[in-house]
Amino acid sequence: MSDRNTTGESSTKSDGGTVIADNTLVARWEEIREREATVVGVTAICVAIFPWLFSRAPVISDVLLGYQSLATLILIWGIFAVGFDLLLGYTGLLSFGHAAFWGGAAYAAGIVANTVSADPIVMVVAGTAFAVLLAWVLGFLSLRRGGIYFSILTLAFAQMLYYMSAAPLAFLTGGENGLTGISVTPLFGVFHLESDLPSVAGTLIGNWMYLFVGVIAVLSVAAAYRILNSPYGMVFRAIRENEQRAEFVGLNVWRYKLMAFIISGAFAGIAGSLFTIHGSYVPLQSLYWTESGEIVIMTVLGGTASLFGPILGAGLYLYVENIVSGVQQLTIPFTDIVLINDFGTYWHLLLGLVFLVVIWVAPRGIWGAVSDLRALVRRLAGGDRR
């Protein structure tokens, strides 16, 4: 086995004999790549080593300038993005109102924490339940019209929630100041979320907060994978490809669309509740349409209709927003040539331009480029496979 491995690694620059060995390796990987256990396992490993790579690894983290709390935030938005892509990428519905579920769940979790119980699990369950109910109602209203009207209506209803929590419901939500005074109790009454994990786990994963979010993130990816590869998820794709045909086959398209919307809202709800736990604070901003816009940008930049593209997009967006934007002078690496002065002012403008270009020429996003590259490598490596 180890023999095959070494030949496989050197195969790209050696003769045809080893290419065949490589082929079997590639073939084996292709065979297990799509399995649920592989997807979930790889996700779990990536989630587990990510904070170490990002904020504590010797050289990499010095270059990346990452920190633990941002790693947690990236995972939270990643869950949100996976759910959003379920709707946009797989069902073909562009919602501009997902801030309603994100922010609504964040408020619900916060209010439950302040009044009933501040147990993290209770908060997540309450927030998600609220998001699901909300998605049911808003989906029922918005899905009365298809296409662009759906986008406009979701945007409108989310804005309605924003204005409701801004003034009329200020006694519940804290109005302009946001919801404050949330103090999350330890997980299972024992583990303080802010405290570090013991020994090796502490170095690798960091604190209990990340572990909590990470476990939920892996479960979310597993759930999304299971949904997408079930017959039920196939119907979502059928609706995206040709709604009329799906209707003619006898499927109740409206019901499937509503369900896709609710599932997507549930993911947003999980993420929103985790956001409250992570920050111990809910800003009014979390219901504003800019949050909906952000999740749209993340998902599209990362690549729609893929499971990991949106997570990548979320990570990249937050990384640029929180770290790169703090760099005042952007230079070409390892030289002194200054690309942009005062980068912090321009980053949002540049992001907008990048987004515009991606939509225009490469609607499949970063993940699309990655899969093209993979296809290219496979063709080069196994061109004479028969």
Mention every residue, 6+ apart, whose C-beta is less than 8 A from residue 169: none
Q: Which is nearer to other proteins, 84 or 212 (CB)?
A: 84
First to last CA, the chain: 23
Q: Which is nearer to other proteins, 18 or 95 (CB)?
A: 95
- How far does CA 34 lie from the centroid of its chain? 20
Crossing angle of helices 289-302 and 343-361, rounded to 10°: 60
Stretch that binds other proteins, among 78-86, 145-153, 215-223, 312-320 (CB under 8 A): 145-153
Binding mask 248-277 for other proteins (x = CB under 8 A): ------------------------------
Shortest distance in whole angstroms from residue 285 CB to other proteins: 12
**Neighbour-count burial of 115, counting CB atoms closer than 10 A to its CB (0-12 exposed, 13-18 middle, 19+ buried):** exposed
Pick from 132, 160, 327, 369 the residue near other proteins by CB under 8 A.
160
Strand partners, 294: none
**Contact present, 205 and 50 (Cβ < 8 Å):** no
Could you say whether residue 88 binds other proteins (CB under 8 A)?
yes
**Contact present, 81 and 299 (Cβ < 8 Å):** yes
Tokens 């786990």, located at residue: 201
Stretch that binds other proteins, among 16-24, 45-53, 105-113, 161-169 (CB under 8 A): 161-169
Pick from 37, 59, 349, 380 the residue near other proteins by CB under 8 A.
349
Cα–Cα distance, 362 to 271 (Å, whole number): 28
Contacts 24+ apart (CB under 8 A), 369-377: 369/303, 370/303, 370/309, 371/306
Beta strand spans in 249-356 (E): 329-331, 338-341
Pick from 249, 359, 373, 375 the residue near other proteins by CB under 8 A.
359
Pick from 35, 145, 374, 379 the residue near other proteins by CB under 8 A.
145
Binding mask 40-79 for other proteins (x = CB under 8 A): ----------------------------------------
Q: Which is nearer to other proteins, 230 or 345 (CB)?
A: 345
Shortest distance in whole angstroms from residue 24 CB to other proteins: 41
Tokens 């379920």, located at residue: 86
Identify residues 289-318 at the interface with other proteins (CB under 8 A).
Answer: 289, 293, 296, 300
> What letter does residue 340 receive in the DSSP assignment?
E
Cα–Cα distance, 268 to 81 (Å, whole number): 8
Stretch that binds other proteins, among 109-117, 185-193, 307-315, 347-355 (CB under 8 A): 347-355
Site size toward other proteins (CB under 8 A) is 41
Pick from 346, 371, 378, 385 the residue near other proteins by CB under 8 A.
346
Distances (CA, A) of 144 to 90, 134, 251, 257: 20, 16, 17, 11
Shortest distance in whole angstroms from residue 95 CB to other proteins: 10
Q: Which residues form the interface with other proteins (CB under 8 A)?
A: 88, 92, 94, 96, 141, 144-149, 151-153, 155-157, 159-160, 163-164, 166-168, 170, 289, 293, 296, 300, 345-346, 348-349, 351-353, 355-356, 359-360, 363
